[in-house]
């Protein structure tokens, strides 16, 4: 029985199965690396000619730059290279995100998803079994849980979003401050961003992962935790022409731990109640996407909740839709309201969604255990704030916990 269980566990650790064969003179294997932390690699393969004869060969090398590197070149004509083993080991001291690519005539296809290798960790392939990631033999795991609570106020009509920035509670209120239109990058570990859910920076050579969140709320809805990366002030809510933002650089806390903003969204938060008497759905935001393409346009719609409701209450959050095909935002160049919001105060922000907690029944605790490997990666200085899309306008009180592990 022990052997059967062990076999099942080993099989579950592999990312994919099958063979890697380079069968034409246009096919090769490549490896992308995200940092200068040194990577040692070896590729063992069987070099087979059209007659069936062949020999075992090993290619090896070291990568010390953030680049795409050929790790197994194209075979000669009438020859195939059948890969039997691959090892990719991070021998450096920092994290390195690696992806194995199958290149055919210059077109790169992912052979593996992107793996984060910490110091001492490795990625391995074996013919017939597939890819598996190992843990560093020196890696230790520690856990940390933070409690949070907020006493919210009445929100807008059902389906609209609300942010608990201003609300008192276990950690106190959080505010964007007065950084001006260009805004500021947040840092949850500083007094400037007191009131957010924060965790200390991970230790040297380690990373922190969000593994579980729990929540009890007095009003049903979909509650979410976001890492707010950037926030501004000074938006003139009565100006209907373009207002230049030119946001400062984001902190390196997007989905990939970079400043490119992949996985990040744009929102506007009602720091004070707004005075527009009717729905406003024609506002736009000019931004640069996570691929570095400028001149993109984020928009609202006439369909709730993707617009400013009539007379938005304090705490209302309006999310903008990115242009088709975009998966993130790197910077904001300008905001055009097009229709006056009449009165009040608003702040533009960029945030990365971390986890959702669906509360179907009031005052019944819910728990979300993250089951995608290590968990959701939390980068140093994260500034975590709760949001909700509620089913009713009633003021909401909530209590919850966020559990992380550091490895």
User: 106-130: per-residue pLDDT in tens?
Assistant: 999 999 988 888 888 899 998 888 8
Q: What is the tens place of the pLDDT at every residue in 251-279?
A: 999 999 999 999 999 999 999 999 999 99
Unique residue bearing structure tokens 């004869």: 53
Which residues, including other chains, have CB under 8 Å from residue 357's CB and lie 6 or more apart?
A: 213, 214, 215, 222, 223, 224, 225, 366, 368, 400
Q: Can you tell me the distance from the alpha carbon of 46 to that of 284, in angstroms, rounded to the nearest whole number?
A: 57
Q: What is the tens place of the pLDDT at every residue in 317-331?
A: 999 999 999 999 999
pLDDT of residue 272: 97
Q: What is the pTM of this model?
A: 0.71
Contacts for 291-297: CB closer than 8 Å, 24+ residues apart: 291/260, 291/326, 292/260, 292/330, 294/333, 296/322, 296/323, 296/326, 297/323
Residue 12 pLDDT grade (very low, low, confident, very high; cuts 50, 70, 90):
very low
pLDDT of residue 198: 93
User: Where is pLDDT greater, at 14 or 34?
Assistant: 34
pLDDT of residue 212: 94
The full length of the chain comes to 407
Helix (H, G, I), strand (E, B) or coil at 193: helix
Which residues, including other chains, have CB under 8 Å from residue 115's CB and lie 6 or more apart?
A: 97, 98, 99, 123, 133
pLDDT of residue 9: 36
Rounded mean pLDDT, 170-180: 95
Q: Can you tell me the distance from the alpha carbon of 252 to that of 257, in angstroms, rounded to the nearest whole number?
A: 5
pLDDT of residue 141: 64
Residue 7 pLDDT grade (very low, low, confident, very high; cuts 50, 70, 90):
very low
Q: Can you tell me the distance from the alpha carbon of 274 to that of 340, in angstroms, rounded to the nearest whole number?
A: 10
Q: Can you tell me the distance from the alpha carbon of 223 to that of 68, in angstroms, rounded to the nearest whole number?
A: 39
Measuring CA to CA, how many Å separate 376 from each of 115, 236, 368, 393? 13, 36, 12, 31
**pLDDT(138) > 90:** no
**Runs of H (alpha helix) within 267-376:** none
């Amino acid at each position: 029985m022990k052997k059967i269980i062990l076999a099942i566990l080993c099989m579950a650790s592999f990312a994919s199965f099958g063979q890697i064969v380079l069968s034409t003179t246009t096919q090769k294997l490549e490896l992308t690396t995200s940092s200068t932390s040194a990577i040692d690699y070896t590729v063992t393969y069987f070099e087979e000619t059209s007659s069936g004869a062949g020999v075992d060969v090993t290619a090896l090398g070291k990568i010390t730059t953030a680049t795409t590197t050929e790790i197994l070149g194209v075979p000669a004509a009438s020859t195939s290279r059948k890969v039997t083993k691959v090892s990719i080991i991070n021998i450096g001291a920092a994290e390195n995100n690696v992806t194995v690519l199958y290149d055919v005539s210059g077109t790169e296809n992912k052979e593996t998803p992107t793996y984060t290798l910490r110091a001492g960790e490795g990625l391995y392939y074996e013919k017939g079994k597939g890819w598996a990631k190992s843990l560093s033999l020196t890696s230790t795991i520690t856990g940390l849980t933070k409690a949070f609570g907020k006493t919210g106020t009445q929100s807008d009509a059902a389906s609209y979003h609300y942010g608990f920035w201003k609300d008192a509670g276990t950690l106190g209120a959080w505010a964007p401050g007065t950084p001006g239109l260009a805004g500021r990058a947040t840092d949850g570990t500083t007094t400037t961003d007191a009131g957010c859910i924060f965790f200390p920076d991970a230790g040297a050579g380690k990373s922190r992962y969000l593994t579980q969140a729990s929540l009890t709320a007095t009003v049903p809805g979909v509650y979410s935790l976001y890492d707010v990366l950037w926030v501004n002030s000074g938006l003139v809510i009565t100006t209907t022409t373009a207002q230049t933002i030119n946001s400062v650089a984001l902190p390196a806390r997007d989905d990939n731990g970079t400043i490119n903003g992949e996985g990040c969204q744009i929102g506007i938060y009602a720091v004070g109640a707004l005075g527009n008497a009717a729905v406003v759905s024609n506002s736009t935001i000019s931004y640069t996407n996570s691929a570095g393409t400028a001149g993109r346009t984020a928009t609202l719609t006439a369909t709730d909740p993707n617009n400013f409701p009539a007379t938005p209450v304090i705490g209302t959050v309006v999310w903008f839709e990115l242009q088709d095909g975009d998966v993130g935002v790197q910077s904001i160049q300008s905001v055009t309201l097009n229709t006056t919001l009449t009165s009040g105060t608003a702040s533009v922000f960029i945030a990365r969604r971390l986890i959702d907690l669906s509360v179907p029944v009031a005052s019944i605790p819910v728990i979300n255990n993250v089951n995608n490997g290590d968990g959701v990666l939390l980068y140093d200085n994260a500034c975590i704030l709760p949001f909700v899309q509620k089913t009713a306008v009633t003021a909401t009180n909530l209590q919850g916990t966020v559990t992380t592990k550091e490895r």
